[in-house]
Amino acid sequence: MKKARAVALNIPDIGIHHPASQQVFAWERWLAHQILALLGRPPVSLVLWNGEEIAATQGTPVARIVLRNRAALYQLIAHPDLHFGDLYSTGGIEVEGELGELLDSLYHSSRSAEGSAAIKHWQSRIFTRPRSNGLDDASGNIHHHYDLSNDFYALWLDREMQYTCAYFPAPAMTLEAAQIAKMDLVCRKLQLRPGERVVEAGCGWGGLARHMARRYGVHVSSYNISHEQILYARAHSEGVDNVEYIQDDYRNITGQYDAFVSIGMLEHVGVEHYRELGEVMHRALTPEGRGLIHTLGRNRSAPLNAWIERRIFPGAHPPTLREMMDIFEPREFSVLDVENLRLHYAKTMEHWLARFEQHASTVEAMFDRNFVRAWRLYLAGSLAAFNSGSLQLFQVVFTRGTNNKLPWSRAHIYQSAEGGEHSDQPL
């Protein structure tokens, strides 16, 4: 248990020294005011360790952030993005009020304050470069997150263990249905035909590969560097023909394929490797091959939240469309279709968070209380990020620039499958 926790949340003692008394000094009060100002003056108050409240200067307060000790104040001012998460996880900060509302209001206030030079200065200070994702590092970074425990993810993911944005053409769909709808959306965009060969870069627990092989009659080679996920995928695909799970890096993909698909891997590739990914696609695709990349994204370039990048997804980066062009331009791939599914990820996060909360006591027994608090913050924070427009979800369909075998419209994506199982209800 302790070992699992150490893998998941490797929070160091940052060793800031501070006066031992409970007294609040004048400069500490000033620092507390600065924190609120730097956050864009959200409708949130800060409660200090002696019970003193630094009130919000505008709006009806949605929550109170309680700093349990003065170390929390110093850590927060030193690196707010990183330490808010660590302090919340370890109990150095408590939130009185609804965590989701607090996070929503923090996203909105920091957006409205983004014109201020102070915030820009502060943001530049908290910028942290994502870790390297060279071949050696990539395995460690992915191990950190995805090998946590299949049992843990099974508690709150859908039956197919899809740990990526679902697709809710009708927003009242269940998570299970929406994850199947996502897989069908991907397969339709790729126009898979029976007998075709598909290569998947980053296959998670193997659900999409199974789905493509079973429902679309294609041959799938799926790559993943996570040992735990590959074992799970193989165990759950017994009896499914034409699926091969390969524990290897996407850069080692061999063979020629009619379609290339990558769902939720690009976040872990690193911008400096995008051109390399384009080379892999160039090698792997037939002249009329199609591809789809599904990824977290940004409207404007910014690193992932520092705490999430350090504690949850080491090395992760959500690219802008501009950054993604490093994949496509050098080998003159042609972007055919981009769809932004931002609100679908917000809804996915709502489902995950609700399921996670249902199993919080089980998670606490598997790990510990800090782990539960960290994951709660991560899921609620991601929900707020998608709802506020801070994060995007892009699906990009592409082909070679010389391929003229293209559909004349995207209507085929929105035709109901026979039996209506995957009907896309417009709103």
User: Which parts of this chain interact with its own copies (CB under 8 A)?
Assistant: 111, 168-171, 299-301, 320-322, 325, 328-330, 332-340, 342-344, 387-389, 392, 400-404, 406-415, 424-427
In Å, what is the CA distance from 100 to each residue of 12, 179, 377?
A: 26, 24, 9
Amino acid found at 174: T
Q: How far is the CB of 340 from its own copies (least distance, A)?
A: 5
Judged by beta carbon, residue 133 or residue 390, the one nearer its own copies is: 390
Judged by beta carbon, residue 60 or residue 409, the one nearer its own copies is: 409
The full DSSP string for 203-218 is: -TTSHHHHHHHHHH--
Positive or negative, the Cα torsion across 400, 405, 411, 412?
negative
In Å, what is the CA distance from 93 to each residue of 30, 67, 84, 104, 308?
A: 19, 5, 8, 18, 17
Amino acid found at 340: N
Q: How far is the CB of 178 from its own copies (least distance, A)?
A: 11
Judged by beta carbon, residue 209 or residue 292, the one nearer its own copies is: 292
Judged by beta carbon, residue 33 or residue 282, the one nearer its own copies is: 282
Q: Is 148 left (phi over 0), alpha (psi -120 to 50) or beta?
A: alpha
* Rounded Cα–Cα distance for residues 265 and 260 (Å): 13
Q: How far is the CB of 58 from its own copies (least distance, A)?
A: 18
* Rounded Cα–Cα distance for residues 186 and 173 (Å): 18
Q: How far is the CB of 347 from its own copies (least distance, A)?
A: 9
Residue 197, SS3?
strand
* Rounded Cα–Cα distance for residues 82 and 140 (Å): 21
Place of tokens 């200090």: 48
Amino acid found at 238: E
Q: How far is the CB of 326 from its own copies (least distance, A)?
A: 9
* Rounded Cα–Cα distance for residues 334 and 314 (Å): 31
Burial readout 165-181 (b: 16 or more C-beta within 10 A, e: otherwise) = bbbbbeeebebebbbbb
Judged by beta carbon, residue 244 or residue 323, the one nearer its own copies is: 323
Q: How far is the CB of 94 from its own copies (least distance, A)?
A: 29
Burial of 332 (0-12, 13-18, 19+ CB in 10 A): exposed
Judged by beta carbon, residue 320 or residue 362, the one nearer its own copies is: 320
Judged by beta carbon, residue 115 or residue 255, the one nearer its own copies is: 115
Judged by beta carbon, residue 147 or residue 339, the one nearer its own copies is: 339
* Rounded Cα–Cα distance for residues 152 and 154 (Å): 5
The full DSSP string for 255-280 is: S-EEEEEEES-GGGT-GGGHHHHHHH
Q: How far is the CB of 298 from its own copies (least distance, A)?
A: 9
Judged by beta carbon, residue 141 or residue 399, the one nearer its own copies is: 399
Judged by beta carbon, residue 235 or residue 417, the one nearer its own copies is: 417
Q: How far is the CB of 109 from its own copies (least distance, A)?
A: 13
Q: How far is the CB of 82 from its own copies (least distance, A)?
A: 24
Q: Vertex 190, ends 184 and 196: CA angle to 5°?
A: 100
Q: How far is the CB of 426 from its own copies (least distance, A)?
A: 4
Structure tokens at 261: 């698909």
